[in-house]
Amino acid sequence: MAETAQFAKMNGLGNKILVVDMRGRKDKVAPAAAIALASQPETSFDQIMAIYDPRAEGTDAWIDIINCDGSLAQACGNGTRCVVQALAAETGRKRFTFLTIAGVLNAEEHEDGLISVDMGKPVFEWNRIPLSEEFHDTSRIELQIGPIDAPVLHSPSVASMGNPHAIFWVDKDVWDYDLGRFGPLLENHPMFPERANISIAHVRSREALDLRTWERGAGLTLACGSAACATAVSAARTGRTGRQVTVTMPSGGHLMIDWRQDDHVVMTGPAEWEWSGLLDPATGSYRRDQSEAVAR
């Protein structure tokens, strides 16, 4: 194996994450390595969070977010919590500032182990999400799927949390919809020139909603943090909920989302370490640590 990088298999509410430590190195995690890791049951992931040396003063690290299809993403809420947990375990520190292609992320691990990430301000302008058609009101755009006179899903809210999201509001249980079938069609719909993460949301109360997401570049996942943020702000914006909501994920886990008065969206939830190992970032070949307690 060529010079190896430490990595940890983690999850954020079931969202499968590989945190790869690329600090102190000049090379990058190659798309081919990501695809090789994604194709093996033990290392299959939704996102890789590749941590590099900081590129700006006042930040702790640069993070690249890589979907399991090899594409780069601008945001990953669940993965960011996993990075915080890994770095907090390594350093004993509680607060971190990261830079990604979408900008700065501030995050904090609390005494109870839950982790909050300031996911920044949501974007609602059609051309910044981006959409391919002009919409003055992005809280409800014209888009539907299914028979023209009886659409299965229609009129989503759209928003960007750095990455593009469309949220379809449904009255029934979110599990009543074949998201595995409609997700890829909507992800690649001409309305979304950079593709989009597609969610189905059911509002249970002013403070609670259920969410399922078909993730751009990753497919059906057990949780999506940025989708929870985009859905929470869209729910509040359309008067469905208040600005603080608990979002229940397909895994059954919960995220607390607070759309603060300063317009920043703060997501709070857990992160879980599973096991660690060493990998070759060029090819994706890897081996698990024998002593996981030491690796932790």
Ligand X SMILES: N[C@@H](CCC[C@H](N)C(=O)O)C(=O)O
Q: Please count the CA atoms within 13 angstroms of the CA of 42 that sit on its side-chain side.
A: 9
Q: Is position 68 annotated as part of the catalytic site?
A: no
Contact residues for ligand X (CB under 6 A)?
15, 46-47, 67, 73, 75-79, 163, 197, 215-218, 224-226
- Token match 């940890």: residue? 8
CB of 92 to ligand X, least distance (A): 26
Q: Answer whether 266's CB lies under 8 Å from 116's CB.
A: yes
The verdict on whether residue 216 carries a ligand-binding annotation is: yes
Query: Among 176, 231, 238, which Cα is nearest to 208's?
Result: 231
User: Which of these is catalytic: 68, 76, 82, 229?
Assistant: 76
Residues 6+ apart with CB under 8 A from 132: 190, 191, 192, 193
User: Which lies closer to ligand X via its Cβ, residue 5 or residue 227?
Assistant: 227
The verdict on whether residue 127 carries a ligand-binding annotation is: no
User: Which lies closer to ligand X via its Cβ, residue 138 or residue 160?
Assistant: 160
CB of 164 to ligand X, least distance (A): 7
Which token pair is 100? 């990604």
Distance in angstroms (rounded) separating the CA atoms of residues 223 and 243:
20
CB of 262 to ligand X, least distance (A): 21
CB of 163 to ligand X, least distance (A): 3
Which token pair is 68? 């399991």
User: Which lies closer to ligand X via its Cβ, residue 71 or residue 144?
Assistant: 71
Q: Answer whether 284's CB lies under 8 Å from 8's CB.
A: no
The verdict on whether residue 225 carries a ligand-binding annotation is: yes
Q: Is position 82 annotated as part of the catalytic site?
A: no
The verdict on whether residue 47 carries a ligand-binding annotation is: yes
**5-12 and 15-21 strand pairing:** antiparallel
| Active site amino acids | 76, 224
Q: Which residues are annotated as a binding site for substrate?
A: 15, 47, 67, 77-78, 163, 197, 215-216, 225-226
